[in-house]
Chains A and B, each alone.
Chain A
Amino acid sequence: MVDVAQPLSGSGAAPNRASDLSIRIRRSAEFVAIPLFALIVSGVLFSIFLLALGKSPGDFYSLVWRGGFGTAFSIQNTLQRSAPLILTGLAVAIPARIGLVVIGGEGALVLGGFAAAAIAIPLVIGHFPPFPTLVIMMAASIVVGGFWIGLVGYLRYARGVNETISSLLMTYIGIAIMNFFVEGSMRDLSNPNKPSTMPIGDAYMVGYIPGTQVHWGFAVGIFLAVVLQILMSRTTFGFAVRVAGGNPRAALAQGLPVGRLIVICCAIAGACAGIAGFYEVAAIQGRANASLVAGYGFTGILVAFLARQSPIAIIPVAIMFGGIVASGGLVQRRMELPDATVLLLQGMTFVVLLTSETLYGRFKIFQPPETTDRT
């Protein structure tokens, strides 16, 4: 009796807490080590491809480094390109927490951007002060984007419509709506060859983060990623969402408002994509036109999946993507490789990272040590 009881009382509160910590470290080490390993594997695979083409992998990776991260200009280029990807990544990751695969961020981005440009026109003509104008524009993007994907969530809950298909199809509807107005009633006739809305003008543009060439969308993206991470992992709302995502029936049986949770998650997602659209208009294009349809919404899907739908992990993944895209040009120019090379690297990385998902839980080193007190 005594020798059984002894280790129990001996390994009281304090050592238990220590092993708690070590378990957490091991667990999180797993989330870092496996993706890193996958990145290295895809790098090696891609090197073989380059060697087959007769190009030097060393040159390639040094150019990727130089073009994406190696100079102050490159880093800012990377961050600027990652800004919309953080937001569109969030637009996929948040619904994923409640078990929905929503891939329609592109539509919400386009409509969000269009709404911002449209609501700005009367304000700009009326010489409304810039800051409140921008606030109203952003609010319009959030509302329209949130409504657009919120509708996807509503259709899912109320009518059982598959959210993946509906969000994708609604993207095309969204783009068509934008084109309808931009090429029709809202077209700026002073620009005859490329249909666009009236430009909002330099005075109304969102500037850069001071001291950089990166627009504010990047900072807002990081802020939202952190806030949404906290919301999803540290609040009762987030807990309810995870429960509903894990087992909607059980969640219903527990009295959780699953329908409302689904619509809210989708609306948050749409709002994130809408904000990305707002920055495309207010920081970059200065007007709404077909250039809003740049594929950021679709790249966001990749970003979110690579980040394993974790809002906080979206930040580094989006920056990595930004860096690859930013350096893609330099690689094309210096090594005379086609543009598809970088897509191939992205695709390979994606496949290897997804394959590496099966490795979780298979390495002893990351597992909590066998506990002696299980008897």
Chain B
Amino acid sequence: MQYSGLNRRHFMKATAASLLAGAASTRLAHAADTTIGIVYVGPRDDYGWNQAHAVAAKALKSLPGVKVVEEENVPETDACAKTMESMINLDGAKIVLGTSFGYYSPFMIDMAKKYSAVQLRHAAPLWTPKDPKNLGSYFGYLNQAHYVDGVAAGLSTKSNKLGFVAAKPISSVLSNINSFMLGAKSTNPKATVQVIFTGDWSLPVREAEATNALIDAGCDVVTCHVDGPKVVIETAEKRGAKTCGHNASQAPLAPKGFITGAEYKWITIYKGYATDLAGGKPLPNMTSGGYEADMVQNSPFGAGCTPEGKAAAMAAIAALKAKKPIYTAGLKDNKGKVVMDKTYDNLDPYLDQMNYLLEGVVGSIT
């Protein structure tokens, strides 16, 4: 009888009660804040895609009433669904941002169906109106910033040969290569861009080989579109070549040869989400833009950029903010076929279907 206070049923009750109390207290602690969850596929300090998001997350944390929870190295398996669920259930996240392509289907679609009161946004233009309404996409037109890279690079090269290390020949990558070339041609008609595809998003050894091969072929400026540009930039710097960055700022990696780099400005989008949530406004399902919407930017100019290059790049940024089109009528692919029957607006969906390299780019996508 003495033990009655400790029998199993009482123990269970007490445990359950304490768990509930614990849960309630954490709820209260966060009630005042809007919690935003951000999920990354790689490390937050990769000098690339993930870092670009992490930089924005850090800026987001400084906003009043916003609490940011982050998780890195989350693979594109059910682990990402569980992470998002955990953010929703255990951290009380009101919006979850998935930053890797493979998170979307089926994981984020499932999460959106399961948690209709939570907003989910994904960093690639995948959302269609038949997907859940609390799900959406955001994306930046980074090719505009690559165009600016090209403008500066065209006036910073001596050999007139520019190199581009690219991951896979998909439309967003091709658009970056073509825009870089068009930017370079706009300031230096003699410039050509040679491209090497490595075949995957993160192949550091192949990326180093490709960089060396481009420099051996006479390129004195190298840029890239791979997940983590660190290897390309460092290899080129070691070889004495100049570099343009991609995704995040790689300026610290190349104190001598860095020209400028194409960067996303995710904070514009994230701030918009935070203010909409705080104000109780519905969030847009599709958010995208380039310079005209302040969603991309160029890294601070480095020692590799000539003064003329910098001036021309600043002018190009101003022009892009005023929606000056990059792809103009009559442009041909590098096999001679006219692919731009007219001048396209920078955000025209026709450009999302790009499956060719333009004249001026040396390389093949097959």
A192 contacts B170, C-beta separation under 8 Å: yes
A193 contacts B101, C-beta separation under 8 Å: yes
Contacts of A240 in B (CB 8 A): none
Known: A294-B77, A339-B43. A286 touches B72 (CB 8 A): no
Contacts of A252 in B (CB 8 A): none
Known: A285-B77, A333-B91, A338-B72. A194 touches B101 (CB 8 A): yes
The CA of A64 and the CA of B73, in the complex, are separated in Å by 18
Contacts of B43 in A (CB 8 A): 338-339
Mark interface residues in B45-69 (1 if CB within 8 Å of A CB, else 0).
0000000000000000000000001
Of B82-90, B176-184, B272-280, B307-315, the one with at least 4 CB within 8 A of chain A: B82-90
Contacts of A284 in B (CB 8 A): 77-78
CB contacts under 8 Å to A, within B12-51, are 19, 22-23, 37, 43
A289 CB within 8 Å of chain B: yes
Nearest-neighbour CB distance to chain A for B53, whole angstroms, equals 15
Contacts of A338 in B (CB 8 A): 43, 72
B85 contacts A192, C-beta separation under 8 Å: no
Which listed residue (A71, A289, A291, A333) contacts B75, Cβ 8 A? Answer: A291
A270 CB within 8 Å of chain B: no
B170 contacts A193, C-beta separation under 8 Å: yes
A73 CB within 8 Å of chain B: yes
B72 contacts A339, C-beta separation under 8 Å: yes
Chain B interface extent, by class: 20 to 34
B142 CB within 8 Å of chain A: no
Contacts of B306 in A (CB 8 A): none
A95 CB within 8 Å of chain B: no
B292 CB within 8 Å of chain A: no
B76 contacts A291, C-beta separation under 8 Å: yes
Contacts of A294 in B (CB 8 A): 75-77, 79
Which listed residue (A191, A194, A326) contacts B82, Cβ 8 A? Answer: A326
Mark interface residues in B101-117 (1 if CB within 8 Å of A CB, else 0).
11001100000000000
B294 CB within 8 Å of chain A: no
Residue of B nearest to A191 (CB): B105
Mark interface residues in B151-167 (1 if CB within 8 Å of A CB, else 0).
00000000000000000
B357 CB within 8 Å of chain A: no
Which listed residue (A67, A193, A334) contacts B124, Cβ 8 A? Answer: A193
B209 CB within 8 Å of chain A: no
A22 CB within 8 Å of chain B: no
Which listed residue (A73, A80, A291, A295) contacts B90, Cβ 8 A? Answer: A73
B74 CB within 8 Å of chain A: yes
Contacts of A326 in B (CB 8 A): 82, 86
CB contacts under 8 Å to B, within A13-70, are 66-67, 70
Contacts of B89 in A (CB 8 A): 71, 73
Residue from the set B75, B86, B91, B105 with the largest chain A CB neighbour count within 10 Å: B86
Nearest-neighbour CB distance to chain A for B15, whole angstroms, equals 10
The CA of A71 and the CA of B69, in the complex, are separated in Å by 19
B69 contacts A333, C-beta separation under 8 Å: yes
The CA of A333 and the CA of B22, in the complex, are separated in Å by 18
Contacts of A295 in B (CB 8 A): 75
The CA of A70 and the CA of B102, in the complex, are separated in Å by 29
Contacts of A329 in B (CB 8 A): 71, 74, 82-83, 86-87
A163 CB within 8 Å of chain B: no
